[in-house]
Amino acid sequence: MTFEVRIKKWHAVASWTWNAGDDVCGICRMPFDGCPPDGKYPGDDSPVVWGICTHAFHLQCINRWLQSQTEQKCPFCRRQWEFKQAVVGGEDESEDGAGT
């Protein structure tokens, strides 16, 4: 027995999340998928960034910390802070890139 199914209409639903290991930012303690205190919208308005030490923070949070310091160090491991380049396309799931 076979059925013929005709699709008249469909809704595509997608979910997104930052590909960050920890679920909250270590500075503001808000979820990475949410906003830092001075952010209005999650997502591209509240981007998550990585240091070469692999620690992640909201861009606004780490920027505010670095601007207040003469020495640029990661708040977690105190290693010299350098921004890690985002992986364009986010193909490689094993990389801590800004996969969406």
Residues in contact with other proteins by CB under 8 A are 26-30, 37-38, 61, 64-65, 68, 73, 75-76, 78
Which residue, 19 or 60, is less far from other proteins as judged by CB?
Answer: 60
| Least distance from other proteins to the Cβ atom of residue 88, Å | 29
Distance CA 20, CA 97 (A): 8
| Alpha helices (H) in the chain, listed in sequence order | 59-67
Which residue, 15 or 68, is less far from other proteins as judged by CB?
Answer: 68
| Least distance from other proteins to the Cβ atom of residue 5, Å | 49
Which residue, 67 or 94, is less far from other proteins as judged by CB?
Answer: 67
Distance CA 44, CA 80 (A): 26
Long-range pairs of 44-49 with CB within 8 A, sequence gap ≥ 24: 47/98, 48/18, 48/20, 48/98, 49/83, 49/84, 49/86, 49/98
| Least distance from other proteins to the Cβ atom of residue 98, Å | 21
